[in-house]
Every structure is written in C-alpha cells, then in structure tokens.
Chain A
Amino acid sequence: MKDQKDISELIRNNLHKLEKRPSERTWERLESRLDNRRSHGNTFLYRQIAMAAAVVALVAVISLITVLFDKQESQFAKINESSSVKNWIIQDLETVYTDARTNISPTADFQKELKKRYANPIQEGPQAKKLLASNNTLTKSASKPERSAKELKVMKKNKRKIEVVAKTTEEKQLTETNSTFNTKENNKSNSNVSSAKKSNDTDLIKNWLTLTQQMEWIIGAWREDNSLVEWQKVNKSTILCDEFVLKEKRNIGLQLIDSKSQVFYNLVFEEKDKKVFSNKNSDRIILKNISTNKFTMTFLPAKGNEKIRTFVK
C-alpha cells in the first residue's frame, strides 16, 4: 500500500488507459452515414429547387387566372345561367337579353350602343380603363387624332402607361368639362339646353368618368312610399346609404354591398343610366336612373319573384 489517494483522482490519472481503438466496422458505419449525408445534401438542394419552381408555377397560375378573370370581366357577358322565369342571359357580345319575359327588353338603341362600345374591346387592364381605351369614337372625334392613336398604341403596350395616359387625358377632359359646366348636376340640366354637338361631347365625357362618378346621380335623399333613404358620397370611390354601399374597387370594379347581410354584388353590366349587379348566388340588383328625380331598384332573385322599388326625390 502506498499513499492515500482520492478515488476520483486515481481514476482521473489512469484515464489514458481507457483509450481503445473501436472496431473496424465503426469507421464503415461512419463512412456510410457521411455518404448518406452527401446524398441528403443533394436531395436538399433538389428540394429547394423544386420548391422554388413550385412557387414560380403558382405565381404564374395565379397571374394567368387574374388575367383571364380580368378578361372575362371586361367582356362581362359570360353569365350562363339555367333559365328560370326571371333569368336573363348575356351570353356574349352579340347575344344580349335573350329572355323577353323580363322587364329589361332589348331595344335597338341599346344593342347599337353595346356593339359600338365593344366593337374593339381592349383585353387588358381593369374595366374602367378598358372602356376608356376602346372608345374609338372619342379618339376619332378628338381634336388631335394622331396623338390619340399613338396613345392607344402605348396603352396597349404598357398597362402601367394606360393608367398614366388615361389619367392625364381624363384630367384634361375634366378641366374641359369644368370650364363648360361647373358641376355634373349643371351638366345634366344644361345638357338639354346645349347644342347637339355639346351634348354629344358630354356623352363622350361621361364614358371617361370613373364608375363611381357615373353613379353620382344616385346621390341625395330619396323617398320610397313611407321610408326615406339618403345616398351620400363618402369618398372618391364610395357612395353610402343606410341600406347599401356602392364601392369602387380596383380589379373588381363597382360593388354594391348590402349593409345588412354584407352580401357583395359585383357590377356585371352597365349602361349609361343603368347598372346591373349580381352576387355569387346570381341574385341581381338593377339600379336604373329614370329621371333626375326618380330611380328604380329592381331585385331579381335567382329563385322567386322580382321586387321593384321606386325612389323619388
């Protein structure tokens, strides 16, 4: 027996003796793990590439859908419904309102107007801008036809430019409008008195107005039997009353929102003084401006009877 030693120290001092080469297969196992990892690394890279490709594909599909959807909206006419009593069908540009039983009877004027307006539809850009570009009568009748043609080309080329061009032209037109008529109200009352050429101009200018601006005739207090509703312009793109909200949205266009049920009705058809909105159940609401102090709101449910409400100022 030698010195007194702490058992811990004893073990610590003799640890080097524990060193022992592990069996050969240990290296083989380690090597195979390292090989696996290498292939794993590759698959990881592949996976990353695949994921990136998937994202790109998704974006492409979404943008394609958006473009197609936009297109459809621009043609706005492809509403195919199984015909029920109250259903009216707009199949394409040529066939309009085939159901004669509905209140909206096809008129020669209406068809003419429709054909004229959509003779050369531009397939890009949101609805409001599209109308703008397709209005050939305006570009032809404008004071500088060459420039307009150029503008049209640019519009077709570049979506972003459409906005810019449209804006500047719109502004120009609006200043013209302002110089001729002070307000839109004035414009309306004056239009009867104005010369034929002038009224023609105002019609054209109307086409340049945004959808919300086109709906401004609805603004004011209206009476229906014993109830009273008031439409107010809240901002550039929203007109509000107790029951409904008219809202203009990018890409979607004008929307009529039922305040109570929060159901959205998208604009599916528009004419000078008539706007047709439809929700996803194909219930339709038609706002029709009869005169400066009278308009009707027709509710055409997909199933059931229509309801017409007449509002007077």
Chain B
Amino acid sequence: MTEQQIIQGCRKQDRHAQQALYQRYSPKMFGVCKRYLKNHEDAEDVLVEGLFKAISKIEMYKGAGSFEGWIRRIIVNEALMHLRKNKNFKMTVEISNIEIQSFITIQDELEAQDIYNLLDKLPTGYRTIFNLYVVEGFKHREIAEQLNISINTSKSQLILAKKRLQKLVRRNQIPGVGGILLSMVSSLLSIF
C-alpha cells in the first residue's frame, strides 16, 4: 500500500489501511516515544494514543508537508502531554554558571542501546528539551511555549543536557567501538 492509498483508506475508515498505517509508521514513532519516555509502558501508551489520534483525525491532514512529519508531530505532542501530566518543567538554572564545551572526542557510531542509555541518564526536563531542540528541531521559543517555561530555562536546560551527555560519554560509559579498542589497548598494556 502506498502512502496515498493508506491516507485514502483511513479517510474511509478502512481497517486494512489503518493497519497498514500502523505497520509502516509504528516502529519509527515508537522510537520517538522511547526517546521522550523512559518507561516502556508509557511509551506504548503514548504510541497507541498518538496513532489513534492520527487515524481518527485523518481529515485534518490536508496533504501539506510530509505525512510522516504530521504523524510525528502528533506523537511528540502526545508525549509532551504525557510528560506534562507527570512533570513540572519549571526549573530555573543560572545560565552564567555553565561553561560550554560542545565538542568531545568520541566514536562515530552509537548503538540504539547507547542512545537509550545516554538519554535515560538525563533528567526528564533535560531530556525533553534536548529531544525537542536537537532531534525535532524546535526553536527555544516554541519549546518554551510548549512546556510553559521561559525561553532562558529552555536554553539553560539544553546546555545542561549537553554537558551531562558529554560527561557520560567521557566517562566511557558507552561501550562503543572506540571504547572497546581503548580498553583492549589498555589491557594489553597492562599485560606487558
């Protein structure tokens, strides 16, 4: 089924088309959910709710922009709603106290588990803002509106999130290729 056929079918509330939509987009969207939500069950809840909204509000997709992007926006929104229910994003941090060091030396490849490990180590506020800004490409103004926080909070949380990630990577908590090589070399050295 092509994307167009799926959309047409969903408009007619055709169950096959709905299932086809699920088959095609659920892996990607589940990934999105998992980036925002640590808990596996929460991620599934959000996925079901988000896809349900996308399917039942299919008439609202007018064909402007990519269909996948449209679904993703719904899912992200749903995830934020879920977070907002359980989490207050109003945290303020003095931006001047933060030193910025955005480049670190690290391997190119990150495995899925590495990313999850990294994101899981971030507090919900950091993680959400990091996701919205870095992955979804939202502007700080938009994030501030979405999460009902100030623009400065959004900025400072992003910086803190990045800093935390760098720290995590530097501590070699990610067993990437580089990390493994390094540990092999060091163990070899220790033998000699």
Contacts and interface: CB of A to CB of B under 8 A. Distances in A.
Interface of A: 1-8, 10-15, 17-23, 26-27, 29-31, 33-34, 37-38
B110 A20 contact: no
Contacts of B134: 8, 11-12
Contact of A26 (B35, B48, B106, B114): B48
Contacts of A20: 27, 30-31, 34, 112
B110 A4 contact: no
Given A17-B112, A18-B112, A18-B115, A4 B103 contact: yes
Contacts, number: 107
Q: For the side of the interface on B, what is the size category?
A: 35 or more
In terms of DSSP, what is the predominant structure of the interface of chain A? helix
Considering residues A1, A7, A13, A38, which has the most beta carbons from chain B within 10 angstroms of its beta carbon? A7
B105 A26 contact: no
B22 A14 contact: no
B51 A30 contact: yes
A34 B118 contact: no
Contact of B28 (A12, A19, A26): A19
In terms of DSSP, what is the predominant structure of the interface of chain B? helix
15 contacts: A1-B178, A1-B182, A10-B110, A11-B115, A17-B112, A18-B34, A18-B115, A19-B31, A20-B112, A22-B30, A22-B47, A26-B26, A30-B22, A37-B56, A38-B13
A2 B179 CA distance: 11
B166 interface: yes
A252 B182 CA distance: 101
B52 interface: yes
Given A22-B30, A30-B51, 18 more contacts: A7-B106, A8-B162, A10-B106, A14-B109, A14-B111, A14-B112, A15-B135, A17-B115, A19-B27, A22-B27, A23-B44, A26-B30, A27-B22, A30-B52, A31-B18, A33-B48, A33-B52, A38-B13
A34 B18 contact: yes
B31 A18 contact: yes
A12 B118 CA distance: 13
Closest 10 CB pairs of A and B: A18-B31, A17-B112, A14-B110, A8-B134, A19-B27, A22-B30, A19-B31, A33-B52, A7-B165, A4-B103
Nearest to B113: A17
B30 A34 contact: no
B103 A5 contact: yes
B146 interface: no
A106 B106 CA distance: 116
A2 B177 CA distance: 11
Given A11-B115, A18-B35, A18-B112, A1 B51 contact: no
Contact of B111 (A3, A4, A17, A19): A17
Nearest to B22: A27
B158 to A, nearest CB: 9
A108 B51 CA distance: 87
Contacts of B182: 1
Contacts of A7: 102, 104, 106, 162, 165-166, 169
B103 A6 contact: yes
B182 to A, nearest CB: 8
B22 A2 contact: no
Contacts of A22: 26-27, 30, 43-44, 47
Contacts of A15: 31, 115, 135
B55 interface: yes
B88 interface: no
A11 B110 contact: yes
